[in-house]
Structure 1
Amino acid sequence: MEDLSATGVALEVLAAIAVGAVSAVLPVVNAEAVVLAAAVGRPRTAVAVVLGVALGQTLGKVALMLAARHGAHRLVGLLHRPRGRRGGRGPRGRCAAGASAAWRRWTRAAGRARSCC
């Protein structure tokens, strides 16, 4: 007979949430293997583990998307910060200037596309 204490099930679900969050960010971690192992090892708690993995993957993807969304604004700030004794704004060199201009055009286009809804 398996031990189905509330603490044990809660720990399994918390571990499943953690594995799901890690697997959302790192594709090397296989969440499906955890779900399969839970189904084979403890069939009575498999549904709770599956829901925990799904919740963890959702939270991990939301965190990843939020980081990408806010990271784009930080990149623009890094490209246009004052540098050294020169005190000027903007990147140095033709390549960096072209990349900076392309980045500004792309972010403006993305902002216009998002503001319509």
Structure 2
Amino acid sequence: MNDQKIIPFLSFTGNAEEALNFYVSVVPRAKITSLVRYEKGQPHGNEGKVLNGTLSLLGQQFMDMPSANPAPDFSWATSFFMHCQSEAEFDAVFSGLAKEGSVMMGPEAVMQFRKVSE
């Protein structure tokens, strides 16, 4: 794990490992950095299934965990901004995520970030 003080936590209904692998397949340079699996006799999970995992998306860590109960749907109220190296990279990531998900807000122009003077 890196030195991030805050790590977003994503809960998925069903298979956390499948979700992690999906993000790795869609986002360039993404990688699974840890997987913790249920061991034999451990409560609340089947042996070998993922208890939690950590995903690195362009250096940003995310934790994920499957939920035995239906997890709330994701919404645009919590979203992530990703700097892409090119328009082609943006198009590939956007279409990959849209193919397996639901688009709540289409691609929008975002103004350039300006550093706030300290």
Q: What's the TM-score bracket when you normalise by the shorter of the two chains?
A: under 0.3
Question: Which structure shows the bigger proportion of residues in helix conformation?
Answer: 1
Larger RCO, structure (CA 8 Å, separation 6 or more):
2
TM-score (norm 2): 0.26
Point out the structure with max Rg over C-alpha: 1
